[in-house]
Structure 1
Amino acid sequence: MESTNRRTFLTWSGLGLATVSAAMLSSCSAARSASPTTVADQLATALHEGDIAGVPMVSTPPDTRAFLAERMEGSQRPNVEVLGVDESDEGASARLGFTWSSFDPEQSWSYESQAQLVKIDGEWRVRWEDSILHPELEKGQGLALATIPGERVRIFGQNDVALVSNQQVHLPGINKEGLTAEQAVASAKKLAAVLDIDPKGYEEKVAAYGPKAFVDALTLRRSDFLKLDSAALKPIAGYEALTSSMPLSLDRGFAGAVLGTVRHPSAEDIETRGDEVKDAEWIGAGGLQEAFDKKLRAAPSFRATIQELDGSAPPMSKGALWEQKVPDETPLKTTINADLQKAAERIIQNTDSPSAIVAVRPSTGDILAAACGPEDNAYPTATIGQYAPGSTFKIATALAMLRHGDSPGSTVQCSESITVDGQTFKNAGTYLPDHLGEISLREAIAQSCNTALIDRHESVSQGDLAAAGEALGIGADWDIGIPAYSGTIPRDDAGTEHAASMIGQGRIQTSPLGMAVFAASVVRGRAVCPQLVPEEKPARELPSDLTEQEAAQLRELMRAVVIEGHLDRLNNHPGGEVLGKTGTAEFGQPDPARGGFPRTHSWVIVAQGDLAFSVFVEDGDYGSVTGAPLAKEFLDAAYEAR
């Protein structure tokens, strides 16, 4: 037999409460004994269920549920059992054992109290004293049983820099109390103008709330709140600003694609995820916040204090009767370097199409930065964008050629154009005629000759290309904690598709992260597995058949791009020897505004010491035109951040 309260209690008891004792359940039987033990059992059950109706009392209050509710303020209820009853000529004394659960199954609050019973007209009755609830309570006192919200776990970057922490925020809005409906809407319109938000949407929101409601307009970081025009806000009728706190990243938008954000759980969240999120103030949305929501979610705690029933303050000496011990925070540690991430975001902040800069440490696979441009609209281009890598892939094509007996000094034929199965391929419009004819593979890579590599499409198979790309990490199986795309290289493409694959087009695709790993693999001499949260998702060794001789030859080719090719602006850099490769990949239909040429992805990959990174602009010019200046800025920033 269970009441509604008991079912509610047992749901909460999933946090650690023991079940009600057999002695308590005995009170539900129809037959009631007149003994003091039976009355004590009834009292124990009533204390658990929060209602003393049915318990014989010396003086029964008119509202038995409210009587206990004001003495046990809070939704929690204890498990209570009768430990023993001592009977004498003067009456009886029942020893009660209380056990309160906390949000930690291994922690509970237990103590004993006493209840006095007297016999009146042959019936045992409880003489209520507030100390029944706890021996330290005096008359007119009760228990304040509070759930203390915890703070969401922080996310750290390198050097224990807090990338996400709880910060003060402000919520400007309209307090409708004392305003007519027309005044409230008028104030909403004025506030929307000051805050530069959609006026119609906010007016409708204000109108929909009750006549005494405070209706927030948006949530602002303190730095942004202080920039508001206070003179314009002051005369708005009903304007108020509440102060609160929430988990925020270092700066607005900082590493958003990686970190994600937080939001209040919706009714749908509670319906689908139930007890898991119903008491949560914040849940993760996207990125690490969502992927590790359970670990990051704030853990509440339980605290019991003495309260004065008349509302006055308890004596200063009365602290908490019991408080759940909260374990030390264990932050989620990432490999993100805050300085490099900020630099990457600053460098691409003015790009007018989706873009990314991703940096990786070759020796460990640590992802040091994964920045997306402002036009990505929260889409994680850096980690899951799928694009043809263009001429940056020529390093893999060169590897396939090395495996067929070529060397950096081998002669290749760079012609103005080459036709495969009726389709003509040309070099870039800026390709210099000085580098046509018989040239070395080193020069072909440095100058990015398309025709010289396509000319080898018959001797280098599509399978050879796929194997070479895989040796440098493309297509590898990663698990970095958030969605990430390493790329795909079809193995069965033939004809023009295969010819296009020789220069990183056709159906080959990868991501900016994939190309940063590609460059890192050349540096390390084997396929690098990236990692973002090493303690949760450590990098693993990937199968790689890249030999040290092959890796050294690829580094020689990438060095030539810097010494004598399209990345010569990176030569003689103070940070040391630089390796690199530019890339341009056509996409879409011919564009008359571009002289009949299709639009192009702009790529650059760079390595220096134990740093490798990629620069990507979705709708850019040649890699040497759009990407190279951005790469130079990031390399300089990385040098300064050392």
Structure 2
Amino acid sequence: MLRTTLSAGVQAAAEKAVQRYAESSVVALKPSTGEVLAVANHREDGFNAAFQGKAAPGSTMKIITAAMLIDNGVTSMNGPAPCPDTATWQSQTFKNLTGMEPNEKATLANSFLRSCNTAFIKLIDEKPLTDASLQQEAEQRFGLGRGDWKTGIASFDGSVPAVSGPDRAAGAIGQGQVQMNPLNMASVTATAITGAFRQPYLVSPDLDDRQRAKGLPAGTAAQLKQMMRLTATQGTAARAMSGLSGDIGAKTGSAEVAGNATSDSWFTGFRGDVAAAAMVQQGGHGGDAAGPIVAAVLRAGG
């Protein structure tokens, strides 16, 4: 018998939660260890999109982008991150979600909790950032895109390529060439709140010598965790996370996919020592479909 790290209670909650939405996937893990507590998919094709999917993660990516801005000294949680109506980067104009009020005096925490796209795009050309900065942050701090995860089953490690032109700006808000799955985003949350990258695993890993990502400076992790707390209590994730007790935090995302009228719904969050992420294809805003799935799993995990 092959022993896995799955938690019966969290797994049952995950399987029940994804049944509410077509084409949905969720992963939950334990930030303190990297153990995968639950993985569930509800898809016509039977594909394990939770572990092997490759899709734009939308604004859940702003966790990594915010870490990049903080680690490179561009701004900080309480530092400036103005949120104008539009932001133009190399001839491409980016907008915010319909109805978002601009705020030229916004801090990074405020632009993060409201999920202001333009604030992040306005900051990506600040020194010392380069075309490779987001890739370096993802690989070195969060262990993504290195092709070396050994989860115990087939999985995709995420991809954040170094790109120039409009795709550099798009990548900062989880569009363009960035590709993730719920496993990757649950791990991003785990790294963000603990400051350490612990490679997720479903089957106990044989120890090997490979270089592990070095994780985040304590100050960066503290700011990310607090910004996720604010997002869950007074930002875009508040409705989905309402009623959850304990130490909670989250980030929403909606990713536009060419040819689809409705965006993919993404959501990642934590409660205590459980992190989870979900994606619902064409589910709309992050809080609408993926959010309730994550909240249900976090409720079972605490």
Length-normalised TM-score, structure 2 = 0.92
SS of 2:65's equivalent in the other structure is: helix
> Where in structure 2 are the equivalents of 1:81-480 lying within 5 Å?
331-352=1-22, 354-373=23-42, 375-405=43-73, 406-431=75-100, 433=101, 435-459=102-126, 460-470=129-139, 471-476=141-146, 477-480=148-151
Verify: 1:628 aligned to 2:291, yes or no: yes
Aligned-residue identity in percent: 34
Larger Rg: 1
Q: Deviations over 1:536-571 (max 9, x none)?
A: 578977221521111111111111111220122325
Give the letter for the 1:366 counterpart: E
Q: Deviations over 1:492-533 (max 9, x none)?
A: x11211010111111011111111111111122121201111
> Where in structure 2 are the equivalents of 1:554-633 lying within 5 Å?
554-569=224-239, 570=241, 573-574=244-245, 576-589=246-259, 598-633=261-296
SS of 1:363's equivalent in the other structure is: coil
Counterpart CA distance in 1 for 2:186 and 2:166 is 28
- Asked if 2 retains the 8 angstrom alpha-carbon contact of 1:480 and 1:537, the reply is no
Evaluate the alpha carbon distance shift between residue 412 and residue 541 of structure 1 in structure 2; reply closer, same or farther with a 3 A threshold: same
Greater percentage in strand: 1
Give the letter for the 1:449 counterpart: C
Evaluate the alpha carbon distance shift between residue 440 and residue 543 of structure 1 in structure 2; reply closer, same or farther with a 3 A threshold: same
Evaluate the alpha carbon distance shift between residue 551 and residue 369 of structure 1 in structure 2; reply closer, same or farther with a 3 A threshold: same
- Asked if 1 retains the 8 angstrom alpha-carbon contact of 2:15 and 2:41, the reply is yes
Verify: 1:528 aligned to 2:195, yes or no: no
Selected match of 1:494 from 164, 179, 199: 164
Per-residue deviation, 1:404: 2.8
Give the letter for the 2:183 counterpart: L
Per-residue deviation, 1:573: 2.5
Q: Which consecutive residues of structure 2, in runs of 5 or more, have no partner in the other structure?
A: none
SS of 1:437's equivalent in the other structure is: coil
Counterpart CA distance in 1 for 2:21 and 2:215 is 38
SS of 2:132's equivalent in the other structure is: helix
- Asked if 2 retains the 8 angstrom alpha-carbon contact of 1:359 and 1:613, the reply is yes
Per-residue deviation, 1:346: 0.7
Counterpart CA distance in 2 for 1:573 and 1:346 is 18
Counterpart CA distance in 1 for 2:149 and 2:198 is 10
Give the letter for the 1:584 counterpart: S
Per-residue deviation, 1:633: 2.1
Per-residue deviation, 1:607: 1.0
Give the letter for the 2:34 counterpart: G
C-alpha RMSD of the superposition: 1.9
Give the letter for the 1:444 counterpart: S
Counterpart CA distance in 2 for 1:350 and 1:542 is 37
Q: Which consecutive residues of structure 1, in runs of 5 or more, have no partner in the other structure?
A: 1-330, 592-597
Indicate the residue corresponding to 2:221 in structure 1.
551
SS of 1:453's equivalent in the other structure is: helix
| Aligned residue pairs, count | 296
Give the letter for the 2:284 counterpart: D
Indicate the residue corresponding to 2:152 in structure 1.
481
Greater RCO between the two (CA within 8 Å, min separation 6)?
A: 2
Evaluate the alpha carbon distance shift between residue 400 and residue 487 of structure 1 in structure 2; reply closer, same or farther with a 3 A threshold: same
- Asked if 2 retains the 8 angstrom alpha-carbon contact of 1:390 and 1:505, the reply is yes
Counterpart CA distance in 2 for 1:395 and 1:474 is 13
Per-residue deviation, 1:473: 2.8
Per-residue deviation, 1:619: 1.5
